[in-house]
Structure 1
Amino acid sequence: MTASDPAHSDPTQPAPTPADAAHADRTHPDPSRPSLAHPDEDPWIWLEEVDGERALDWVEARNRDTLARLSGPGFERDRDALKSAMDRPDRIPHVTRRGGLLYNFWQDAEHPRGLWRRTTLDSYRDAPEATAWEVLLDLDALATTEGEDWVWHGADTLAPAHERAMLSLSRGGGDAHVIREFDLATRTFVPGGFDLPECKGGVDWIDRDTILLSAALGEGMVTDSGYPATVRVWRRGTAPEAAAEIFRTAPGNMGAWGGWDRDRGEVVVREQLGFFDVRLHLGDAAGMRRVLDLPTDMRADWSHGWLVLQPRTDWTVAGTVWAADTVLGIGFEDFLGGGRALVPLFEPAPRRALQSFRWYGDRLLLSVLDDLRPVVTVRVPAEGWRESRLAGLPEIGVVSVWPLDAEPDETDGTLLASVQDPITPPTLLLTREGQAVPEPLRQSPALFDATGLVVSRHEAVSTDGERIPYVQIGPADTTGEAPVHMTGYGGFQVSVQPYYSARLGQLWLERGGTGVITHLRGGGEFGTRWHEAGRLARKRLSHDDFAAVAKDLVERGVTRPGRIAAEGGSNGGLLIANMLTRYPERFGALFCTIPLVDMRRYTKLLAGASWVAEYGDPDKPEDWAFLGEISAYHHVEAGRPYPPILLATARRDDRVHPAHARKMAARLQALGYDAGFYEPAAGGHGYGKDSTEIATFSALGMRFLRQAIGWEDPAG
């Protein structure tokens, strides 16, 4: 038997087939491919078959290797402690009010899938153990009865009576879900009621017998990104596929979603042209009548006769240039009639950016980060857009404020606020405009020992001179050997904030480690300017920013490169993969989760086509010129000083394809690198569907990082 005999090959590698002629031999894959010179020669492409027999054999073999390496008493203690923290009965149950009752979805050790339940505000004010909850649906019992791996995706009740709801349930945790009509009085699904097969999309009530349907159900109803291409009016007693179509978007657009505006009594269709571009259509159940005369990159929302706008780029209208991210108000009917007498409600600055605006009744809630400090204000348009700042909220840490009521037209002005920081567990407050001191409702228990920990803010200088903020959590004194856990994201204008984390606290901080949370370009911490600085051809700068923070930690004497463990997921997984190939000398270990890695084929995998506005189109040579720079999969080389890496994904992730992590791990392993892989069978675009899965995923990753930087005895 010779070395070239297939019997000598890895038994988990599949034999070649004629269909693979365009790719390298699958029995002996060439680990030098793909490369920038040969970007389309992918010998690992068979791992894109999510449930393919050969692919699953490969996955299970790698799972066994990872569990054998990382399991043991230490892992079990970590997993069980984290699961216990996640299942604590005294943690805060977050609520939304509908029709006078507070609704909550709750998971714990006895109910891992969860309970949908409700109570009154008076009862919620009682001690946690005294709250009188009415259980509407036991998802564990339903899953057992129906033999399905149900994961809760939410509920939409029919106002104003709130006697019926449309429940969304996912099989295994993916984005696709079924939607079924539920009777809240009998606590049962409605026989012969609305029942939508599994797909991506959603519904919205028009009335008890009529639904707006936005569903990617099949041929002719799905965009290239896998989202709904049509909006339809679905009437009781008919099949969803036969529902009357009132709007259709082009297949190349991201998708279309319909909603019912109860205030105005009309249909609103949000036609998503790309991730950051949208057209808004107004009409009724017979069809759409008009398009709002707005730039496609404009954010818009309206309530009680008032319209609020926020342009993403500078907007010239009626002879006035409004800067990007300015918030503008006007009467809705005035705007529809051609009026453009806009009132500025918020004006950005280089380090001051609006994070969100939302209506609750006739009031507008605005949340701002002013140099990363939270500021929350209320505007009242009927009083000349009068402004007031919500009182009694902290000026440091993380402050999140939202209306208590799910329906804007049912609000009495009550707001909920959550306040926290990395070493202070969240407190839930009840407040409203003009209230001097918010009312504490619930306090989360302390989930780790924060004694001796301090929180400080610092700035690193990136490759082009930009100052990159980051938050450091850990002991006040370090000796240059601190075990550091770094995280980052840097994409889609998502703002990263320093939340309280049981995971980081239990598995890193209380053991003497230091945590670092980075605010990279590509995020939204400083508005559209900050996002644009890390988008498309500038995406590589967000990766440079992360590496600059790692360098700054060493220069400040906090640690050394071999003691820095970095983690990121999704777009943050792309970041971590680039740390491996672009900055390997700055890190001691990497945990790359649910990642994008192969930027040559990402648009062909699941929802990837919807992210072209963020990354670029690899089929265009001018875009591949910069995408190739950050496609870590194409930069893997033999003989590089790569730190140990664990790549982890989820088989039921139908947003970011698990093949990204699979193929990267396979190629690194073929070259002899220390590259682990883990893929649980369930879970969507996250770390799991329940506390057991999330705790397992997290404990494995943190144990790997600690071992790889020499901070934990593998036998511990």
Structure 2
Amino acid sequence: MSLSHKLLVTAALAAAPLLMAATGAPDDPYVWLEDIHGEKAIAQVEAWNAATMKALAAMPGYEADRARARAILDDESQIAEPGEVMGDAVTNLWRDAAHPRGLWRAASLASFLAGKPEWQTLIDVDALGKAEGKSWVWHGAECLAPEYRRCLVSLSPGGTDAEVVREWDRATGRFVPGGFTLPEAKSVVTWEDVDTLLVATDFGPGTMTASGYPRMVRRWRRGTPLAAASVIKEGLAEDITLSPFALMDGKTRRLFVQRGKTFYTSELWLAGPDGRLLPTPLPETADPRGILAGRLIAFLNKPLGTVPAGSLVAWPIADILAGAAGAPQAVFTPGAGQAIEDVGTTDSVLWIKLLDDVSGRLIALRPGADGAWSRTVAALPDKATIHLVSGADAKDMAFATVESFLVPPTLFAVAATGQAQALQSLPAKFDAARFDVAQHFAVSKDGTKVPYFLAIRKGVKGPVPALIHAYGGFRVAQTPTYLTTEPYRAGPLALDWVDDGNAYVLANIRGGGEYGPAWHEAALREKRQNAYDDLYAVAEDMVARGLSARGRIAVSGRSNGGLMAGVAITQRPDLFGGGIVGSPLLDMKRYSHLLAGASWMAEYGDPDLPADWAFIGAYSPYQALRKGVKYPPVFFYSSTEDDRVHPGHARKMAARLAEYGNAFYFHEYREGGHSVGADHAEDAVRAALLHAYLKTVLTGEGAGAKRP
């Protein structure tokens, strides 16, 4: 298989259908703001949006910031990262000013490796949307190996997680007349063969889980109606999802069905030669990561026998098919301070992206005839972030980008020998010699050392205003990227901020995957407060070092990170002077009843259970707001069409802050889904608004925080 990681669908899938009922919140005066497209709710959103634009877009420097951000985002010198390598062709999705939604294109692998790719446009997403009257956003394509002629193209209307799937022919460059087509839904689909699909989608009433994901996989044959597709596996309503996927084992295509029982537990079946599903020996807590040399590779989130959590293990496929799979072979176990962040395979190499005190390394493993695995460390720059992008199977080559706060991304082709060839480097967007970067460790409340990365202009003496970005959940590690792309989808905000003479911090709080499963579990459910204490420790460490001061620090986070930022401004208004709260969960009493919230109860707990609400309610930001308390002015950003995290979270929090006389800023995009922003134009506006906001609330450059 290629290195593009399509597994763990339970964690990556879209959200549930819109759930707008107000049940379960009789004492909430703002439950009407959960009516996503309701006339009254939208009118309030538009009023808040207009007030925020009026206050911030009028600030000196706003338009220059927006134009600069747009130019950086649209710069055609961006790296053309390889998507799937289809035999002797490399694919890429290219976005620039002329093509904001993107060109899906292909070049020969030879021309790409030579540094002179000869691109051929396959699908112009902007032109397609214009011709069809749709605001299409690219969600990807799966092309059937080894010919890679027929592809399943996924397009989202406006950037939602729901998508339309259509069959496309690479030879003709057209969608197949009368071909496979799935209507808009949260779907997972894969090829069984050129005339057969395995489909998980909304088949009608009773076919979706309580979380809003498919709970049924069917076999759909060409020329028959979707409704006639035969059921091959069915899950339970209380599951997260049931989904099919395929992995290549050399030239053999292996089909799997995965039942997500919770966000972190699943069952996995392998399709036998006759199509019957056979159980695999993977523990429910393990994650499948690929197939290599007839072995199914899995990541252990819990110990298995003598093999510790955080390791990779393997079972022979032949034994699974024979029903005789025994104990697995240990493949790789990280050392102290290390964690496996990503895994991929090419024909005969297992590629491991390793974190070592949050710095990246890339390792190539080869299985030997004696069962041992040989290891080679790729010759890539040290003390940097590595992104495992994709791979060329037949060449046993991985593509990886390397970057840091001050070093722009470089794309490398890495051979199994560890030799790395630089294919393309992004030109520097600023003079890195003007800035300093350091990694520090703060000590959290329970004594845990918490790393964080600091960027600051040389010669600047603190205390200065600071922006801390963090996430702290779902096993997702935070690693430094070039300052023109920090933080998430805010363009060059971090660069603008440190260029002003301020401090930017990326904090590696618990709940993420920076140090493996134990780092995540330390902030799970009733232990969630550990993540927030880690954040406060980082902020207080900066104060102790003289880098910043209480009340001059803003916290930033999106999605689960938005929850973290919301908790921070309600628990520690003495410490933080602002908060950037993006696509957030905030009403943790209601979260499991809104959109995909039910799928995250393994992370947070079930607020409907008194025992769980006892610890969830201790930090839930919406319920934590109190009259008479002065909270730092917050900037909320979200999307009306976010069908993963309900926009009502941010709306209701803003309304309650207003009721209690607190300042806030608010910007809800009308498209973009959970990613917030369907193209670079919207990202550039966000970058400029956030820079104006930070200057207003932390440096006093604006007229002061106004309540929209």
TM > 0.5: yes
How far the C-alpha of 1:285 sits from its partner, in A, is 9.2
Out of 96, 99, 103, the residue aligned to residue 115 of structure 1 is 103
2:638 matches 1:652:
no
1:468-523 deviation digits (Å, cap 9, x = unpaired)? 11010112444333221110000001010011131234421222221100000101
Q: Which residue of 1 aligns with 2:329?
A: 343
Q: Which residue of 1 aligns with 2:440?
A: 458
2:271 matches 1:283:
yes
Q: Which runs of 5+ in 1 are unaligned?
A: 1-18, 24-38
- 1:177 and 1:199 in contact (8 A); partners too: yes
Out of 38, 46, 54, the residue aligned to residue 40 of structure 2 is 54
Residues 1:491 and 1:110: Cα distance change in structure 2 (over 3 Å)? same
- 1:648 and 1:679 in contact (8 A); partners too: yes
Counterpart AA for 1:455: V
How far the C-alpha of 1:402 sits from its partner, in A, is 4.5
- 1:366 and 1:378 in contact (8 A); partners too: yes
How far the C-alpha of 1:64 sits from its partner, in A, is 0.7
- 2:634 and 2:663 in contact (8 A); partners too: yes
How far the C-alpha of 1:82 sits from its partner, in A, is 0.6
Counterpart AA for 1:93: A
- 1:276 and 1:297 in contact (8 A); partners too: yes
SS of 1:223's equivalent in the other structure is: coil
Counterpart AA for 2:87: G
Counterpart AA for 2:106: R
2:692 matches 1:703:
yes
Q: Which residue of 2 aligns with 1:323?
A: 308
SS of 1:666's equivalent in the other structure is: helix
Greater relative contact order (Cα < 8 A, sep 6+): 2
2:314 matches 1:332:
no
Q: Quick one: distance in 2 between partners of 1:512 and 1:40?
A: 48
Q: Quick one: distance in 2 between partners of 1:126 and 1:427?
A: 15
2:403 matches 1:420:
yes
Out of 55, 70, 76, the residue aligned to residue 69 of structure 1 is 55
How far the C-alpha of 1:332 sits from its partner, in A, is 3.0
1:297-333 deviation digits (Å, cap 9, x = unpaired)? 01234333113333222223xxxx3222222234333
Q: Which residue of 2 aligns with 1:43?
A: 29
2:88 matches 1:94:
no
Q: Quick one: distance in 1 between partners of 2:621 and 2:112?
A: 50
Out of 395, 398, 404, the residue aligned to residue 385 of structure 2 is 398
Q: Quick one: distance in 2 between partners of 1:214 and 1:293?
A: 23
Q: Quick one: distance in 1 between partners of 2:291 and 2:93?
A: 29
How far the C-alpha of 1:171 sits from its partner, in A, is 0.5
Residues 1:324 and 1:190: Cα distance change in structure 2 (over 3 Å)? same
SS of 1:638's equivalent in the other structure is: coil
1:167-316 correspondence to structure 2 within 5 Å: 167-263=153-249, 265-283=253-271, 288-300=276-288, 301-316=290-305
Q: Quick one: distance in 1 between partners of 2:481 and 2:203?
A: 38
Out of 132, 139, 142, the residue aligned to residue 146 of structure 1 is 132
Q: Which residue of 1 aligns with 2:456?
A: 474
- 2:302 and 2:308 in contact (8 A); partners too: yes
Q: Which residue of 2 aligns with 1:517?
A: 506
Counterpart AA for 1:246: I
Q: Quick one: distance in 1 between partners of 2:68 and 2:248?
A: 46
How far the C-alpha of 1:463 sits from its partner, in A, is 1.4
- 1:504 and 1:515 in contact (8 A); partners too: no
Q: Which residue of 2 aligns with 1:12?
A: none
Counterpart AA for 2:361: V
Q: Quick one: distance in 1 between partners of 2:403 and 2:513?
A: 20
Among all aligned residue pairs of Structure 1 and Structure 2, give the percentage whose two residues are the same amino acid.
Answer: 38
Q: Quick one: distance in 1 between partners of 2:27 and 2:110?
A: 64
1:569-612 deviation digits (Å, cap 9, x = unpaired)? 00000000001110111111111010000101111111111101
Q: Quick one: distance in 2 between partners of 1:104 and 1:118?
A: 6
How far the C-alpha of 1:700 sits from its partner, in A, is 1.1
Counterpart AA for 2:544: E
Q: Which residue of 2 aligns with 1:588?
A: 577
Q: Quick one: distance in 2 between partners of 1:616 and 1:349?
A: 31
Residues 1:358 and 1:579: Cα distance change in structure 2 (over 3 Å)? same
Q: Quick one: distance in 2 between partners of 1:659 and 1:688?
A: 18
Q: Which residue of 2 aligns with 1:610?
A: 599
How far the C-alpha of 1:278 sits from its partner, in A, is 0.9
1:116-144 deviation digits (Å, cap 9, x = unpaired)? 111123433566xx642111111111111
Counterpart AA for 1:373: S
TM-score if structure 2 supplies the norm length? 0.91
Q: Quick one: distance in 2 between partners of 1:372 and 1:494?
A: 12
Q: Quick one: distance in 2 between partners of 1:265 and 1:396?
A: 38
1:551-576 deviation digits (Å, cap 9, x = unpaired)? 11111000112321221100000000
Q: Which residue of 1 aligns with 2:654?
A: 665
How far the C-alpha of 1:658 sits from its partner, in A, is 0.3
1:27-66 deviation digits (Å, cap 9, x = unpaired)? xxxxxxxxxxxx8511100111100111111111111111
Q: Quick one: distance in 2 between partners of 1:323 and 1:126?
A: 42
Q: Quick one: distance in 1 between partners of 2:464 and 2:380?
A: 34
Residues 1:565 and 1:53: Cα distance change in structure 2 (over 3 Å)? same
Larger Rg: 1
1:171-216 deviation digits (Å, cap 9, x = unpaired)? 1101000011112222221111111100012211122211111113
Counterpart AA for 2:461: T
Aligned-residue Cα RMSD (Å) equals: 2.1
- 1:224 and 1:609 in contact (8 A); partners too: yes
Q: Which residue of 2 aligns with 1:9?
A: none
Q: Which residue of 2 aligns with 1:495?
A: 477
Q: Which residue of 2 aligns with 1:356?
A: 342
Counterpart AA for 1:200: K
2:142 matches 1:156:
yes
Q: Which runs of 5+ in 2 are unaligned?
A: 1-20, 485-491
Residues 1:385 and 1:83: Cα distance change in structure 2 (over 3 Å)? farther
Q: Quick one: distance in 2 between partners of 1:42 and 1:553?
A: 38
TM-score if structure 1 supplies the norm length? 0.90
Q: Quick one: distance in 2 between partners of 1:324 and 1:575?
A: 26
SS of 2:140's equivalent in the other structure is: strand
- 1:153 and 1:170 in contact (8 A); partners too: yes
Residues 1:162 and 1:342: Cα distance change in structure 2 (over 3 Å)? closer
Q: Quick one: distance in 1 between partners of 2:328 and 2:150?
A: 40
1:89-114 deviation digits (Å, cap 9, x = unpaired)? 11101113212111111111011111
Counterpart AA for 1:115: L
1:241-285 deviation digits (Å, cap 9, x = unpaired)? 331111111011000111245545553101111111110012359
1:223-258 deviation digits (Å, cap 9, x = unpaired)? 111111111111112232331111111011000111
Residues 1:359 and 1:685: Cα distance change in structure 2 (over 3 Å)? same
